[in-house]
Chain A
Amino acid sequence: MDISQSFAAAIGLILGGDPAFLAIVGLSLTVTLSAVAIAALIGLPLGALLALARFPGRGAVIVLVNALMGLPPVVAGLLVFLLLSRSGPLGPLGLLFTPTAMVAAQTLLVLPIVIAITRQLTEDLHGEYREHLASIGLTGISAIPTLLWDGRFALATAILAGFGRASAEVGAVLIVGGNIAGYTRTMTTAIALETSKGDLPLALGLGIVLILLTLAINAVTYGASRVGARFAG
């Protein structure tokens, strides 16, 4: 099969609604969206708290969180693998090589992004709002809902960045998921495997879906920042 034939076959896969193909796309989206949702649920309040709290070692925590934004996916995968492996502390749960393990690993990847960006945004916004909020009685953590709401468009961008990182990574899901066909095979792990096996149509088809996904994320990000700019003045 030459390249153009592979392309035609890939398009056929995408448009044909092949169940195995759709299952891979579906699992990828489920895992990544779950990870992003969990990371947002934990990361938004934690980032805001880190912005407002003053405690010894705060600077070190901020540096650490910022550094973790660049955590290599394979290392995140390795950490979760060690936790979940049979001899690890969470081994008895039997979660290794399940979609749940993949969600955990991707959450670990996305969480620092959400915390770090939320911390920065909330801190800047708080600098601007602090006196007014204190004047109307919103001091300390009671200022957090206002800050998160007013930062919502920028925060959406942070969450989308996390989504982009998680949906593109292969190392973490490969290590803790095991790339089991029909169970833990995602778009990225399938591409890695099928390319090496020579099944170019499947790899290309999934690659095209990934690129479209990335485009969609960026379109939404752009839209969010445009709407946000309207309110930011």
Chain B
Amino acid sequence: MRDTLSVLPLTVTDLVFAAGGRPLVDGIGFTLPKGGLTVLIGPNGSGKSLTLRLCHGLLTPTSGVVSWAAADGVVGGVKRHAMVFQKPVMLRRSARANMLHALAAFGLSRSERATRCAEALERFGLAGLAERPARLMSGGEQQRLAIARAWALRPQVLFLDEPTSQLDPGATRQIEEMLMALRGEGMTLVMATHDMGQARRLADRVLFLNRGRLGEDAAAAPFFAGPASPEARAFIAGDLVW
């Protein structure tokens, strides 16, 4: 049962999100084709999280358009994009119940829920933790569960907002390996990070944000070899631009 209908490409045009009369996301535009890992990089407060939320439909743009190949990124009544947050949102239930809850919200049958849940717990190395209250798990385990929970929903696109920013290097590496495996299987990933090293390790493409604007949209290799804009150069050099 391969995906016959793709929600991609995603086309973002002149995206603006303003609060208190101040544009926080200011005229961003890009096209996201199928496959690969796109990194949204930029200093704190540059609008990475807002951009992801706008794309995922959690926020309504002040102006501009987020346009999927299938309306709202929904195919056959099923939303085909998912999101993992910086601070994993864990329900006050076991790891398994967290997973089953999301699957139930997607309207899946009981047997389908059980199958997908077992599959996801297994794949992300959580089978042994299935009955643990999710909020008692370590930060790394929680984020793994959040990714597994999103994966179980079979998204074509997975948005990740700094998924490793609160994790130690070991847990970070685990998550990065999982993301590379997902990319290898054809899932399209869009990840915000302000960690330059992580961007270098994972990115196929870089969207550099600065003060709510898209400073640069480039393939990863040329971007890291020498970004076109002075702001991006300063950012790479470690001089955060504010």
- Chain A residues with CB under 8 Å of chain B are 128-129, 131-138, 146, 150-151, 228, 230-233
Q: Are B89 and A146 in contact (CB under 8 A)?
A: no
Q: How many A-B residue pairs have CB under 8 A?
A: 46
- Chain B residues with CB under 8 Å of chain A are 53, 56, 58, 79, 82-83, 85, 89-93, 101-102, 105-106, 133-136, 153
Q: B89: nearest residue on chain A (CB-CB)?
A: A132
The main secondary structure of chain A at its interface with chain B is helix
Q: Are A230 and B133 in contact (CB under 8 A)?
A: yes
A94 to B58, CA, bound (A): 54
Q: Min CB distance, A14 to chain B, in Å?
A: 40
Q: Are A231 and B89 in contact (CB under 8 A)?
A: no
* CB<8 Å pairs between A and B, sample of 19: A128-B89, A129-B91, A131-B83, A132-B85, A135-B56, A136-B82, A136-B105, A136-B106, A137-B79, A150-B91, A150-B93, A230-B136, A231-B92, A231-B133, A231-B135, A232-B135, A233-B133, A233-B134, A233-B136
B56 proximity list for chain A (CB < 8 A): 135
Q: Are B136 and A136 in contact (CB under 8 A)?
A: no
B89 proximity list for chain A (CB < 8 A): 128-129, 131-132
Q: B98: nearest residue on chain A (CB-CB)?
A: A132
Of B53, B92, B93, B105, the residue contacting A138 (CB under 8 A) is B105
B133 proximity list for chain A (CB < 8 A): 230-231, 233
Q: Min CB distance, B87 to chain A, in Å?
A: 9
Q: B103: nearest residue on chain A (CB-CB)?
A: A136
Closest 3 CB pairs of A and B: A233-B135, A132-B89, A231-B92
B92 proximity list for chain A (CB < 8 A): 150-151, 228, 231-233
Q: A150: nearest residue on chain B (CB-CB)?
A: B92
A135 to B92, CA, bound (A): 17
A107 to B149, CA, bound (A): 42
Q: Are B101 and A137 in contact (CB under 8 A)?
A: no
Q: B105: nearest residue on chain A (CB-CB)?
A: A136
A186 to B50, CA, bound (A): 60
Q: Are B105 and A131 in contact (CB under 8 A)?
A: no
Q: Are A231 and B106 in contact (CB under 8 A)?
A: no
A156 to B101, CA, bound (A): 22
Of A128, A136, A231, the residue contacting B93 (CB under 8 A) is A231
Q: A135: nearest residue on chain B (CB-CB)?
A: B83
A129 proximity list for chain B (CB < 8 A): 89, 91
Q: Min CB distance, B177 to chain A, in Å?
A: 24
Q: Min CB distance, A207 to chain B, in Å?
A: 39
A148 to B93, CA, bound (A): 13
A150 proximity list for chain B (CB < 8 A): 91-93
